[in-house]
Structure 1
Amino acid sequence: MPGPASGAAPATMDSAGGHSPARPRTSGPRPPFVPKMTRSVSGLSPGGIALFRLRSLTISDYLCLSALALTLALTSASSASATTRTIELDGSGDYTVIQEALFASTKGDTVLVGPGTYTWTNQGSGDDHGMVRYWLSEQDEVTLLSTHGPEATILDAEGQGRIFFANGNNVTNDPVNFLIRGFTMRNGYAPKVPNRDEQEGGAIAMHLCEAIVENCIFENNEAEYGGAVWLGGVGAYDYRNCIFRNNVARLQKTGVDYRAIGGGVFVGGSPQRTTFENCTFTDNHAQYRGGGLMITRGNIEIRDCLFAGNSASAGPTRHGTAIYAFEARFLRMNRVTVRNHDSAPGASVLVLFAEGLELDNSLIAGNSSGVSMHVQDSRNVSAHCTNIHGGVLGNWLGDLAPMRLMNGNMELDPLFCSDEGDLTRVELASPMLAANNSCGTDVGLIQESCVSVPILAAGLRAQRRSGEAVLQWEGVEPVGAGIVLQRSSDAGPTSIDLGRANPAGMGRWSIEDRDAPQGEVGYRLLDRNGHLLARATLPSAGGIRLLRASPNPFNPRTQIAFDLAEAGHARLEVFDSRGRRVAVLVDEERPAGRQHALFSGQDASGRALGSGVYHLRLQSAGQVRTDSVVLLR
């Protein structure tokens, strides 16, 4: 089905190298259609089907997710209603075309997409904006989920246009809110829009949105700005557990090459917040700058991410082969690894004119022929427990120079494993490991052990029960397999006799550590050769724990559990994405043990809060714990 005749144009590059807000376009009429079947679901909210918060979802996880969604759809019975629509290429669902399901959807609806390859040809709905479109506020708070995950659910534009386009309301500045989870987006090509010079976002272009994109793979997409993804306008963007690989920012017509920027992702304009969490950027290319990620303005946080093998080729300097940030309001890199970038004679990471820069527990190394990282003309720069190493022409350059060996910072060989295909593993003697550095924490997104070992044990958990330390893990019988359990301490590791371990059912083993101290304790499971199998931390006996909210995402309410080791005053607060406190759920004396609080998606005055990410902060006994929840209206 064709989309609207016209839409909001993406933002444009200004003379400072950033993006200015786009000129508004008006929405044309939308042709009516009659769906084959619409299943009305009483009481089902998008949050009702998103009960998993996994770093990586398998096909079986998605099957469980789908089954749970359908179960809730058939059994829910409250007065509020939402609609769940299913899409199957074989015709067994409500629709075969994703765009038709979105056009039929209204606020709070969910669209479930079955497995298969959805192409520009078999969808037949593409226009000069994209194959799939969230248009202005018409699909606000509509959730788009695959039922079988990105390996089995593919959106392939076949090189004929962009895959996905979303735009808020430029006139009222109202953002469009949505969540997308579990797709592979490939072979997207940014279209040439009439009266527009730039071609932006081969797979996704988002402008004036508040969006969460999870568990997606972006590969072989092409554009001038943002080979895979272009993000612009005043909005908030969260990309989690995503892979960006082999995307290209390439000049698509004769002209200056500075338009070919952001091989993987381009972030422009003035987003209030953009976050990349647990994401991987590999082998992306920009014809000018920002091979993996290009940033102009906005507040950006990159945490638990890997950049490897990205490139930028134009010009003599090759600045920002991994990351190029220009005039960022605030850039934070936390537990980020950047490696294997040939930046001769420029920099793998280049930051210019930033108002704030914070490096924490990050590793920038193995970048041959050029500079590892250069920060220039920036303010409020800080670095803690960060290692920058391996640049032939320098490492800690510009505004970073005074911090080179301060605050736990290093300039040391990280001792990566020799296997180039293993991008995050380091040797046991690596200074990146907590046991080998003064920070007492792992530096960068790294894993221990270069030797591939059989999966003998995994999923180690440590908790206190009635004052006793109890450890559980999955795996084979530990004594016969030569597994070693160690408790860490200032005096060195202590081995625990696993002859006392007992089967706990479902392939799990359990043991009590009667000699565990009252403070926080670390444990490691090793094989007979000393290779790490799993690790866990036992909280202090006087500690507090903020447990996972359920459901999460949620609508209209979620229950939050927390543990207090001892009776005392507890305060549980809720903050929005801008750091403003919106609610206080608990502010009173509570007994020791498991506690619960209900968050109904309302502020302190009882007004309903909008969709978005909200941050929880628990304080008790002089300790603080944090977590996040997602409200989907």
Structure 2
Amino acid sequence: MRAIVAFLFLLVTTISVEAATWFLEADGSGDAPHILAAIDSAAPGDTILLNDGVFTGTGNRFLIVPGSLGGLTIRSVNGPDFTTVDLAFNNGFSLSAVNVSIEGLTVVNGSNWVGGGVQVNAMGASVRNCRIENCVGNGGAIGLWAGSVEVTDCVIADCYGGYNGSVAYAVGGAAMLFERCLMLRNGVCPIISAVPLTIRNCTFWESEGGVGSTGSTISMTGALLTIEHSILAAGSGANPVIAPNVSISCTNIYGNTPGDWVGHLAGLDTVNGNFSLDPKFCDTANGDFSLRPGSPCIDAPGCGQVGFGGEGCAIISTGVTDGRPLAGDDRAEGDAAGSFASLFQVAPNPFGAETAVFLTRSLADGGSLTVHDLAGRTVYGQSVSPLVRSIVWNGFDNDGRRLPSGVYFLRVDAKNESETRRIVIMR
């Protein structure tokens, strides 16, 4: 009898509970009436899936994830173009459990003392493929009280931080990482950190300087700052970086006032692949921060790609014929930014695991995306519906085989236009 009881106890204790998915609609239908109700009902490891629409009002703000919900994921179905969380200038996400992930959302109008959009209080937090806009607080977009956070493939724009970081404010914790992010027009020193901070393949544009000891883009209070393969451009009001303990490589700092490689960065512009040259963005006025042909950031010597966006501006526009990609017209290097038509952007490029294709406008009648090798063979293809604005491709062909490293051509066809760009896979 004891053996049977012991066996039953072992069986019960080893049965794992499968993680659940909570599907939510912006109108309150679905598995829960709002995001907070789904959080309150969820178990560790669950996923809260938000369909297209704007989630706002009671239950879609003050979104506290308690410490018991480790591994929770909150993400959209179709990406940040389709799903918005409008906080109406209330507190946003507060992550107090380990390994919580926020993915594929646009988060707007957040306000909090620390972390207007997302506040982190535990290890292993991640914010992926999100847009965070018009948020305010000490760390208008991201605030780190404790733990660690990785922010990847995000756009953070028009946030305000008072005296302490419009993009991020790290008052405590272990570490903070920003990778493949685009930071636009953020006010009063975008990032202030007291913990080790890594910036990798990011672009900062028109950052506003702070007061006193805060820099126009990044200010550290003693911890190590590491900047790699990034662009800091058109900032104003103070030195671009204030960081006594800094490691910087393959980075372009250009067009900032009162200067570029000044203060703690003095003398570092000629070492470790650093430089100060016009990045030659495609069309900053219309938000296209991919790089024009001839940009020094496309393939910097000894560094490769620098910044958030890869080569763009419709560098190849006539498609594939006779089995070979046709080169588009070579525009003069002195052409003004924005003189190129642009149907889509690709970032990152080069890439290893995956890249994202961002359409600059909707395809009213739909279209197609294809990838061709150097011989002109089509190795991948898919249709593009009229509502889609972003597509993630993992570098596999139509038969599910991983493509080898090399140069390929990615083409988008619409009803009356097509555009092809060179992409590079680096495994």
Give the TM-score, by structure 2 length.
0.69
Where in structure 1 are there 5+ consecutive unaligned residues? 1-77, 169-175, 191-198, 251-259, 377-395, 458-475, 485-497, 509-519, 540-544, 546-633
Distance 1:154 1:505 in 2: 31
**Counterparts in 2 of 1:216-365, with a 5 A limit?**
216-223=130-137, 225-233=138-146, 235-250=147-162, 260-269=163-172, 271-286=173-188, 290=189, 292-296=190-194, 298-314=195-211, 319-328=214-223, 330-343=224-237, 346-352=238-244, 354=245, 357-365=246-254
Distance 1:526 1:80 in 2: 42
Change (3 A) 1:423 1:375: farther
State the identity %. 23
Give the counterpart letter for 1:97 in structure 2: H
Give the counterpart letter for 1:304 in structure 2: N
Q: Paired residue for 2:79?
A: 149
Change (3 A) 1:409 1:149: closer
Q: Paired residue for 2:258?
A: 370
Q: Paired residue for 2:125?
A: 211
**Counterparts in 2 of 1:46-445, with a 5 A limit?**
80-121=17-58, 123=59, 130=62, 132-135=63-66, 137-159=67-89, 161-167=90-96, 176-190=98-112, 199-223=113-137, 225-233=138-146, 235-250=147-162, 260-269=163-172, 271-286=173-188, 290=189, 292-296=190-194, 298-314=195-211, 319-328=214-223, 330-343=224-237, 346-352=238-244, 354=245, 357-367=246-256, 369-374=257-262, 376=264, 396-397=265-266, 401=267, 403-411=268-276, 413-414=277-278, 416-417=280-281, 419-421=283-285, 424-426=289-291, 428-434=293-299, 438-439=301-302, 441-445=304-308
* 2:325 and 2:376 in contact (8 A); partners too: no
SS of corresponding position for 1:186:
strand
* 1:86 and 1:94 in contact (8 A); partners too: yes
The two structures, once aligned, show a CA RMSD in angstroms of: 3.4
Distance 1:283 1:152 in 2: 23
Distance 1:117 1:433 in 2: 37
Give the TM-score, by structure 1 length.
0.48
* 1:350 and 1:373 in contact (8 A); partners too: no
Change (3 A) 1:507 1:152: closer
Distance 1:154 1:499 in 2: 39
Give the counterpart letter for 1:241 in structure 2: D
1:116-165 deviations in whole A, cap 9, x for unaligned? 222134x3x75xxx2x1112x22222221222322222111212x21111
Distance 2:101 2:303 in 1: 37
1:28-47 deviations in whole A, cap 9, x for unaligned? xxxxxxxxxxxxxxxxxxxx
Figure out how many residues of one structure are paired with residues of the other and give that number.
341
Change (3 A) 1:101 1:410: closer
Distance 1:222 1:522 in 2: 43
* 2:55 and 2:86 in contact (8 A); partners too: yes
Distance 2:380 2:410 in 1: 22
Distance 2:374 2:298 in 1: 29
Distance 2:119 2:374 in 1: 57
1:415 CA drift (Å): 5.6
Distance 1:134 1:213 in 2: 14
Give the counterpart letter for 2:31 in structure 1: D
Change (3 A) 1:100 1:307: same
Give the counterpart letter for 1:188 in structure 2: G
Give the counterpart letter for 1:339 in structure 2: A
Change (3 A) 1:362 1:440: closer
Change (3 A) 1:506 1:188: closer
* 1:456 and 1:533 in contact (8 A); partners too: no
1:266 CA drift (Å): 1.0
Give the counterpart letter for 2:326 in structure 1: G
Give the counterpart letter for 1:284 in structure 2: N
